[in-house]
Structure 1
Amino acid sequence: MAQTYSVECAGIDFVPSIKPSAISAYHARLRRFRATVTLASQASGDTVVLADVPAGFVFAGGEMVSSVSLGSSTVALGNASAAGKYRAAAVFTAVDTPTPFGPATAFSGAASTATERVLLTVGAAALPASGTLVVDLYFSHPN
């Protein structure tokens, strides 16, 4: 059987060995950026600032949970230049059910070179008039 290597482990059998590094998110420390959003009929097109993630961090996934259904409203998670970088615009109707998110392109992306402001962008319809939405963003860092 053939054996292949992940990108991070490509050099571990070299002599001398090239060890995987935390710079590529291998064996890096996980950090959580929590954003609690009080739902108040935020309109379609509005944005909510979720976090300012410092340079050098690598996306490691996210999780959302809401106390109410967001109904026909859609939410996207990303930044000012790519609204759906971490979650494409979609409805979120699960109530009190933590739901993971994150596209493969974000998981496999490189570390950020500058501080990134992560935004939730409301689309399709206004958010509910009341309730709480919690978004946990996970990033890894070598230190």
Structure 2
Amino acid sequence: MNFKEIKELIEILDQSSLTEINIEDKGNVVNLKKEKETEIITPQINQQPMQQVATQQGVASAPVGTQEPDNTQKSSAADDSQTINAPMVGTFYKSPSPEESAYVQVGDSVTNESTVCILEAMKLFNEIQAEVTGEITEILVEDGQMVEYGQPLFKVK
């Protein structure tokens, strides 16, 4: 087979639904395979609707769902404790390994940089900092429990 004939076979393969051509001619073997086409999927970016937010000075508008959540929140107006919330979905672990003691327990004092737990997400272990200063008053989840994004993990006073 010459180059022109091979080129014609390539064009035939390309235009057909065949995925492979094997030809043996005068002791020469030609194997042509069509690679599967890779479909490229591009994410669609949707514009978020504007939500009206009332303020004391007037009315301001902000995109819905575009603000970073505060990982610490006040529990209630009457209670001056705050919560440390999960910054991601994952599995909650109170200690670095089953043999070691918990990062924090009820009654422990924490600072902004204190590690309070680990959240495992996709086989990555992420140390979670308190981001508040105070005393742990309650642990709201169990060791090994799945937690949702924004779910309260600890109460801090």
TM-score above 0.5:
no
User: Max radius of gyration: which structure?
Assistant: 2
The TM-score with structure 2 as length reference comes to 0.22
